[in-house]
Amino acid sequence: MQYLRQFLWIIGFTLAGEALHALLPLPLPAAIYGLVLLFLALETGLLPLSSVKEFGEFLLKLMPVLFVAPAVNLIGSWPLLSNVWVSVLCIIVLSTLVVFAVSGRVTQMLLGHAEAAKAEDTEANGND
């Protein structure tokens, strides 16, 4: 019964995301709305993590299986991709490297701000 309740919470936020997608004229997928709503509910404490934790872990374990169908579909689309596979591979590699670089820089920036704030707090508390 616990898993069903957790599943219903996740489905509820997914449906709320679908409703927002229908109401708001923004070019965002409905799943993003649902994820943001779930994140906000968890972050503000409106929904305790224990309300979705076990089912969320189950979904994370299941995630690799969800990539099988798209991979098989790519294999089935080989006649269409055979002429452009080098270009597609270059785009995939370059976009992955860009995501790595941007993620690394943003992480370094955030860690730098966190360290500066910690040093500032230490300095302020040490001088009191």
Number of H helices, E strands in the chain: 6, 0
Residue 95: the pLDDT is: 97
Length of the chain equals 128
For residues 61 and 103, state if they share a domain: no
* Count of the separate structural domains present in the chain: 2
Largest alpha-carbon pair distance within the chain? 72
For residues 86 and 124, state if they share a domain: yes
Map tokens 């997928």 to a residue: 29
For residues 62 and 90, state if they share a domain: no
Map tokens 């370059």 to a residue: 94
Residue 71: the pLDDT is: 84
For residues 62 and 1, state if they share a domain: yes
For residues 126 and 82, state if they share a domain: yes
Residue 122: the pLDDT is: 80
For residues 59 and 89, state if they share a domain: no
Q: Whole-angstrom Cα distance, residue 33 to residue 25? A: 12
Residue 124: the pLDDT is: 78
For residues 59 and 87, state if they share a domain: no
Residue 128: the pLDDT is: 53
For residues 82 and 128, state if they share a domain: yes
120: domain range?
78-128
Its sign, for the CA torsion 94, 95, 97, 101, is positive
pLDDT of the chain along its 128 residues, tens only? 899 999 999 999 999 999 999 999 899 999 999 999 999 999 999 999 999 999 999 999 999 898 888 888 888 888 888 889 899 899 999 999 999 999 999 999 988 887 887 888 887 776 65
For residues 62 and 85, state if they share a domain: no
